[in-house]
Structure 1
Amino acid sequence: MYILLALIAACALGIAVHYVVGGRELRGVALAPAVATATAALLYTVLQWAGVGEDSPWLWLASILGSVVVSAAVAVGVTALRRRSDAETKAALGI
């Protein structure tokens, strides 16, 4: 049940990442929260299987802060890729 707390926190912080990272008009509104939630679920599950208890702060820090870092990296990467792709398309079309 505690995994839900980690997933909700990661999703909320993923929404914040969407608004903090620039170029949000170039990526979907659900990208950062979805990546953050999926990463938090994966990290929480792996750490639980590794034997880290629910009372350990490392479980919570790794799953929540790790998901924010991954979400921010994906958002920056997708934005840069989209800008490069749009510039190449405009150059090819002569715009």
Structure 2
Amino acid sequence: MQILLGLIIGAVIGLAVHFALPHRHLRGVVLAPLAGAAAAGIVWTALTWMGLGADSPILWIAAVLAPTLTTVVLVSLLTRSRVARDHADRVRLGV
């Protein structure tokens, strides 16, 4: 049940990243929260299997840093790719 804490933290961080980064109209609103929840869930599970409990600060720090880094990198790369592809399509169409 404690993994829900990690999943919720990851989804909230992902949602914050979605609204903090530019070009949010070029991506779906679910992408960043889902990526954040997945990253936090994987890290939370791995660290609890390694023996860390909810009382460990390392678990909480990792549950915040992993979705933050994952979501920022993923959303930035996908957005940059989308902007470049849209620009290439505009050039090709002469718009």
Q: TM-score, normalised by structure 1?
A: 0.92
Question: What RMSD, in angstroms, separates the aligned Cα atoms of the two structures?
Answer: 1.1
Aligned residues: 95
By how many angstroms is 1:14 displaced? 1.1
One-letter code aligned to 2:39: T
Structure 2 portions without partners, runs of 5+: none
By how many angstroms is 1:49 displaced? 1.4
Q: Which residue of 2 aligns with 1:27?
A: 27
Distance 1:34 1:45 in 2: 16
Q: Which residue of 1 aligns with 2:9?
A: 9
Structure 1 portions without partners, runs of 5+: none
Contact 2:9/2:63, CA 8 A, preserved across alignment: no
Distance 1:53 1:4 in 2: 14
Distance 1:13 1:36 in 2: 6
Matches within 5 A, 1:41-60: 41-60=41-60
Distance 1:67 1:32 in 2: 9
By how many angstroms is 1:54 displaced? 2.2
Cα deviation per residue 1:51-77 (whole Å; 9 max; x = unaligned)? 222211111110222111111111111
Q: Which residue of 1 aligns with 2:68?
A: 68
Instruction: State the percentage of identical aligned residues.
Output: 39
Distance 1:9 1:43 in 2: 12
One-letter code aligned to 2:57: P
Q: TM-score, normalised by structure 2?
A: 0.92
Q: Secondary structure at the match of 1:53?
A: coil
